[in-house]
Structure formats: structure tokens, C-alpha cells
Structure 1
């Protein structure tokens, strides 16, 4: 069985984190989202087929020719035009039944295993409390799909489409007949309707495990939290006698934890990273390769990409810092509104309620701040931007 993984999109809702990398390579718990997707289905597939597009060469360079001894083929989606169009790109490679997963959606291994075990075409669904924001599946008495209704005001069931499928190769013939939707895309749900109208059975696999579509910056933090909940203590790097490590803390080979450091897991310190002296790191935090957290710094529930640096006397909470970020001494991040309402963030020009009571900042690659900068909750700073010493940043900062 093939595992077709869709990884072609740029992920504009994730900007500025995707300015210089494709969304499936964003790190959570120290590894790209795409690798976590591979982990979920590697036991049921014989070959991966990865559909690449935006910065596809970065994906190929990261993954290479195989993953955990399972070979990888790559196909390119040059002009993204919907999920059905993305799946169609795998046609030259795929000649037997295959499962389809998105390269930025976290699921448990039970899901691809259940799809693989189903017969013929299959769709995964999961029960949700309010189905009105999803594609909703109607299921017949025999457990097969009857219809999918997109974002219905009166949902026929509480079963939301997870966006994971299994198909026989004949699906490509039906993709050929799929017309563009009102959004101008070739939708795989329209292809499913064609299968049903032609009398083909589509099994419904009901799933109630982990399901997180990592589409916006705060959802990357949520992915990090979920994945770090499963880590176990593993200390292989250099840890000073005066350091204190509590709980599920991972310190990789080549990482250094200096005197006076206090780390409360779950925390992952990647190879080459340095912590301290006299730093406090806590709460679902990942410090990327060669990251630096220095004297008098507190980092809480955050992700620091590779080579991000918070050298001294700063606070970073519930935040994502891109590659090669450098915070000047005394830079402080606010992660809580005074009115106790959930933090809002601008996504593609619209203010969005994140649903998070605590959320700090999202800094693109190579952002630099001067000393004594204050960054307000929910602020995004574009890649390459610089902030002058002493500034109080209350609105998003554009750059490049």
C-alpha cells in the first residue's frame, strides 16, 4: 500500500513562519510536522509518495530517499488547485490502493491503520460537538457514505470529515471528471460525490483519537504541547551539577545545560543548544538545534527554531521564535490580556480569536530586537524585521 502525503502548500495562514520554509517542515517537539505524519502511517505503507510544491526542494533535502527504511517518491504540484488536483499528481507512481494524509495534520496511528484495513474507497470521520464548521458525513445503515455536506446549518450527523482517505487507483478516473468548485479548486469531496453517484461504495471509518489541523501559528504551539506530552526523560547532553531538571526533559547529545538552570518538563533541548547559566525553562518548550537561552532568561511553553537566541534578562512565554531570531537584553513578551479575554491574532488580514487565554508572539526568521523591547500578546513580526531599543510593540510589524 502507498501512503500519499500532501505537502505542496505554502501555508499562508502560518506566515511569517512559512516565509522561508514550507509548512510541513515547521517543527513541533523538535521534528518537522511531516515526520510526525510519517510516523503515524509508516507501519501500514510500503512506499511514501510525497506531493511537493512550495519550496519542495527543502522537503526533499530533509527527507531524502527513505524514512525509517520505507522508500519515498516525490511528485510535484506546480500550480496548486485543490486536494483532488494534489492527489492526481501521484497518478504516475501509484498503481495499487493508497491512503491519503495531509502533511500538516496530526493523527494517531490508529487512523491510517483503520483506513488501510477498510475495503475499497474509504473516508475518515470523527465526532465533533459542533459540526457546522466542517464537512459533515451522512452514513447509511450498512456503514457506507451517503453524502458529504459542507458546513451545513442543520448537520445531518455529528461526523466531521477528517480529511484522510483511502482509495483504489480507479479514483483517478473520477478525478478526471471532477469540475472546479466555486473556489476555483478541484475538491476531493466532489470526487467522492461522483463515486457515490456512479454506485461505488465508500466506507466510513469512524475515529475518535487525536486530530489537529496545524494551520495557524497558535496551532503549532498546540501541536508542540500534544507531542511533548508523550516524551520520556532522556538526558544525554552535558548537564552541570548545579542544574536542576524535573520531569520529562530531553537533552540531546551535543546540548549544554549550565549551572543554575532550572528546567521543568516536558522540555526538549536539541543538539547544539545551550541553556544558562541561571535560566528557567518550563512548560511544553522545545529549544531547537543550536538555540541559545542565556543568563536570567525565562522561557515558558514556547518553540525556539534552530539558532534562535535569547541571550539574557528576557521573558518569552507561549511564543514561536523563528530561525536566527535574536532578542536584545531585557526584551519582554506579554502573553496575557489584562481583561482576561482570549488573545486575538491577525491572519491573512483578518483578526481571529485564537481561543487561547495565553499567547505571546510569533517572530519570523532573523527578527532582531534592541534592548528593553516590549512585545504585546498576539503580535507577529515579519521575517528580517528589526525593532529599535526601548520600543513597545502593540501591532504587527511588517518587513522584507
Structure 2
């Protein structure tokens, strides 16, 4: 009788661990969207500008770094394509780098315009956005969803600043919006079953595009997918014996989950689905989580006080510890980690440590060591300038 009861209890425990998680509550789109409102707000821009003009550090150094980069070159020539074709690891690379870097450049010039008020930078940002909106029709090959997510994350940041702060006019802003709606949004809005950084980056793009377009339905859909994917990307002990999953992926056994988590079978708070792959791809996922949380905060719903913020805090601290040189235990990824987290800590650190007061010793050390944070040449750029110790 005792044996039967024990088996029943074990079966119930395993079933509970593998049960689909209930969908996290999505934050509804605001009744009125805030602009500029994708990753960086008007208040944050004003704070950064005031610090740069005063010559204060680290903002002045971050601004100088940005202005010395290739992305701030006023002689940059756009290189748009009708069809951008990107295979695995951008092989083939038919317009992939050009698109991503032109999008980062558009954002860089928008930031430069806001801080130094040199209209040439606003016009260069507009030139880059207009060049692409005039010709692009599609993304193709296996990396198309990810490529669209990366470029689609940078374009709205640039567009939001230009449309809502530059008084010199942008006649083709409507065409740019049509490009985002017809070419980018359909490619990202339905998500991905690949490694988690794909869907997180895609939802970052979808949320940013939705803000620019003031598309409440797309915003809600993207945010719901983001909440589910974030819960399935960063493990917390409170999740139970196994990480949460995205139901549509059918990761319905322990073996399937372990395989999806790069063979890692011991789960520790802060571990991500890609930690044992490498910290570079993990950084992509963490960065996207921070960017969406920041955009949501600007739009009136602060996700940092929810499980999103806790997962972000724990993921940053866990990865930062090893990026700083801590010994990797044999129980973690077989005792070997591939480092290279990237310039992805400023947004989350500022929100969680400076605003909410969480002690984040490892994240703080890594953030300050890496200042000024530059660009990863994909979709992250100049976050010491925009978010470093920024109270706005």
C-alpha cells in the first residue's frame, strides 16, 4: 500500500513539473502611446543630453565613443535591398549586415541629432530610413525571422526620435510606417520555436513597431508572447524541478527539456536556456528582455516589479559572475562556459539597481568595467549614453 502511494506521489510530482505553465498575464497596450517611447524616453534623452553638454562622465565619454563610430559618419551611404537574404549565421549574407548596420546608423544619427541639435544628423537618419522604405519587400532564407527582429528593433528607435522631436519634417514617415507594418511585423509577430533569443528579439521588434504604429492589437499579442517566452528563457527555483516551457513547442518530457537547454540537467536560478550554448547568444536574449521591459515602463506598465524583472535580475547576475571570471563548477555546462556577454547590462542594471534599489554586485562590477558600452553591431547600441545611471 505504501509503495502504491509513493508511486502515485512521484507520478504527480513529475506531471506537475512537466505541466504547461499558465500564460503570464500580458500587459495591455496603453490607451495613449508615449512618444518617443521605444527603449528610450523623452526624459532619458533630456537627461543624457544635459550630462553630455555639461561634460559629465560616463555620458560624455559614451557620446564621444558614439560620434567616433562608423555609425555616426555623415558620409554614410545607405545600401538598401529589395530582398534581404540571410542564411544560418548570415550565410549567405545578401544585405544582412547592410540592413542591420543602416538601422543602427539611423538610430545613432537620431541620438546625435537629439544631443547636439545638428540637423545634418536628423537628415542622415531620415535618408537611411527613406532609402530602405523605398525598396525593401521581403526577408528570405533560414535566418529571416531573426534578421527581421534585429533590424526591426533598431528602426523604431530611430523613427520614434525623429518623428517626435525633429521639427524639420519627414515627408516619407508614412511610407516608413507602411514598411514596418507590411514587411517587418508579419515576419516577427507570430514568434519562433528556435532558441529563445530568436523569439525575444522578434518580440522586441514587434513591440517597438507597435508603438510607432500605435497598433494596440499587435502590441498586446507581442507582449503576451514576450511574457511566456521570458518565463521559459530564464529559470527561477520557484518554477519547480524543471524550467517553464512554451506550450506550442511540445517540450513535454524531461529529456526534451534538457536537450533544449543545451544538455544542462541541473537548473539553478539565473540560468538561461542558452547559457550552455554561449554567453553571447544569452546576451541577445537578456538584452531583448530588458528592452521590452523598458519600453513597457515608458508606456505605463512597469514589468520590472513582476517575474520579468526578477528573471532579468537573476539572469544578469548569474551571467555577470562568470563573465567576471568566477570558476565554473562541473555541474554547469560540464565546467566550461563560452564567454562574451556583450554590452547588454546597462538597461536592466539601471532599472533594477538604480530605480528599484536591488543589490546587484556582479552586474554592477561588469557594467562599470565595460563602460562606455558600445554596440554589438546587431541591435544593441550606446546604452551607457541612454541608460547609464539615468533616473528619468
TM over 0.5: no
Structure number, greater radius of gyration = 1
Choose between structure 1 and 2: higher helix proportion: 2
TM-score where L is the length of structure 2? 0.26
**TM-score when normalising by structure 1:** 0.26
Greater relative CO, 1 or 2 (CA 8 Å, sep 6+)? 2
Say which structure is richer in strand.
1
